[in-house]
Chains A and B, each alone.
Chain A
Amino acid sequence: MLQEYMDRKYRTDNKPSVEANLIKNNVAIVGIGQTQYTKNSGRDELDLACEAIQNAVDDAGLKMSDIDGFDTFILDRLSLPMLINSLGTPNVRFSCEVSGGGGAGCAVAVHAAAAVATGQADYVCCYRSLNEASGHRYGRGDDFIEYMPVALTPNYGYIWPLGFVTPLGWAGVWGRRWMHEFNITREQLGWWPVVLREYAQNNPEATYFGRPMTHEDYMESPMIVDPLKLHDCCVNTDGAAAYIITTVERAKDLKQTPAIIAASAQCCPIEQEIQTIYQRPSISGLVETWYVGQELYRVAECGPDDIDVAQLYDPYSIGGIIQLEELGFCERGEGGKFVEGGDNIRIDGKIPCNTAGGLLSEAYLHGWNLVIEGVRQIRGTSYNQVKDVELSMVTGGPGVASSGIILRR
């Protein structure tokens, strides 16, 4: 089975029918909302969440009391009951906290969509609220002291005691193999952060708005966890974001052009646990992202050439570029060449990526800002609007069980 994944052979037999998929074309994102993205909000996460959710509800043209479901993913510091006590939503009948960390960036939408498609809820609010710039930053090195004296799980027990902490480190190991095997250079990596920073210059809500960066600046930035430099890594953000999911039928009575879910997937192939991932015959690729892509294309009945714009979950530059390969926007091992010079991922390029600035330059809202930008591209309201968008792709984090959605008009 593992070898089949490694050979990128996908379900050669017995593919499930697309018609049986209740989410496809029946569910849509109808409201988006966010707070300011800052370095020090001076407010707590609960407070920020309330504002972002109110903005999403207003954007959709709903009332707060319409919301009857909530969804987020793990590592959330909010208490859902206190959130409900603040929002005053009296009819909540669906709630969900998805596993997988950043990999669940889109899985939250997937689970919410499933709830809506099956009548578990009418309007599900997907929310994320963080004070990662001023408060607790997920993935910092000293973060792990919290778990002393024993590693959190057996698998972490093989790596944490070695000082092998933070997702940047975990990604660096496969990243170095990928760079080594395909001769991918640091110069090439730099184009991903540089192009994203260009996008952020048109997005007044982006953390790095008004702070451009040249490729030279990138090259001069310090090494954080070799092979990753400072500007390979995502920003720290205080802020909140939310979006609302309902059926396409209900969306007809609402304010906005719905971003209809043409396909959704959450994939967890074997040998992908953060540590055991290194046991695959090759670690210079991300099979889970490839699998997400295959599922999305199968359900949406399209291919990479049909995607007009993509928001790829990029907590670090290599995580964005390698997804270009696994999602079929370029060949395996060609990601470095593909982003060189930046044109392929710029607005008129082959596949414009992370058009609001992504996790590196807009905000690290655990992928919520990517979903929101994916929706804006469908509505035609992006600060970096791609022309005539028919299909807009969003993915979850690389290197863990991952997820994705394709949105359409």
Chain B
Amino acid sequence: MVKLIEGIPIMRPYIDLDNQGYWDAVKNHKLVLQYCTKCNRFIHPPRPMCPTCRSQDTMEWKESSGKGILYSYVMFTSPKMAYPAYELPYAVVLVELEEGVRIVTNTHEIEPDEVQIGLPVEVMFEDLPDGQTVYRFKKREA
């Protein structure tokens, strides 16, 4: 799990016209994914053209189940090579969602030694004191 160090601000995402829907949903505690209605496939991260059918007007936002499995991870253990806003060690995990796309995220209430490939996880949201809303993943029943 990640613990913030007081006084060091968290970087904010870069919001543009392609990903605004994604970040707006996060603000409302929802995880949405870009979906091409022509190819019936999810795409992440959001982009202006479907790379399969090259259509620019068949994409919509679909809510994700928020469930997935831990696909890979790294553990930040050294102050030199870590972002100083978090207490060490902290994990960055790659979660494969049920929809088939993967997202990079942090963990919530998962101890470092529990972070393992294959762990069933689900999304949760947290409103930070600075007004940001972030998503993280916690353990779930398989």
Contacts and interface: CB of A to CB of B under 8 A. Distances in A.
The answer to whether A and B touch directly, with their CB atoms under 8 angstroms apart, is yes
A158 B23 CA distance: 10
A223 B96 CA distance: 26
Interface string A124-140: 00000000000000011
Contact of A225 (B44, B78, B102): B78
Nearest to B117: A180
A16 interface: no
Given A151-B12, A161-B10, A270-B51, A169 B76 contact: yes
A275 interface: yes
Contacts of B45: 154-155, 158, 275-276
A279 B73 CA distance: 14
Given A154-B19, A172-B74, A279-B44, A149 B11 contact: yes
Given A225-B81, A275-B45, A162 B75 contact: no
Nearest to B16: A154
B135 to A, nearest CB: 10
A302 interface: no
B104 A164 contact: yes
Nearest to A160: B11
Instruction: Specify which of A147, A152, A160, A226 lies most central, judged by the most chain B CB atoms within 10 Å of its CB.
Output: A226
Given A150-B14, A158-B45, A275-B104, A283 B72 contact: yes
Nearest to B86: A163
A7 interface: no
Interface in B1-42: 2, 8-16, 18-19
Contacts of A74: none
A18 interface: no
A144 interface: yes
Q: How large is the interface on B (under 10, 10 to 19, 20 to 34, 35 or more residues)?
A: 35 or more
B108 to A, nearest CB: 12
Interface in A208-227: 222-227
Contacts of A303: none
A161 B11 contact: yes
Contact of A157 (B19, B44, B94): B19
Given A147-B11, A161-B134, A279-B44, A141 B72 contact: no
Contacts of A389: none
A226 B85 contact: no
B77 A158 contact: no
B68 to A, nearest CB: 13
Given A141-B83, A176-B72, A227-B74, A162 B104 contact: yes
Given A165-B83, A166-B81, A173 B14 contact: no
11 contacts: A140-B80, A145-B84, A151-B12, A154-B14, A162-B105, A162-B106, A163-B2, A163-B85, A163-B86, A176-B72, A176-B73
Nearest 10 CB-CB pairings of A with B = A157-B13, A172-B74, A226-B75, A157-B14, A163-B83, A164-B92, A141-B82, A224-B78, A161-B11, A177-B72
Given A162-B104, A278-B104, 9 more contacts: A145-B83, A150-B11, A154-B14, A159-B104, A163-B85, A163-B86, A222-B77, A270-B51, A278-B71
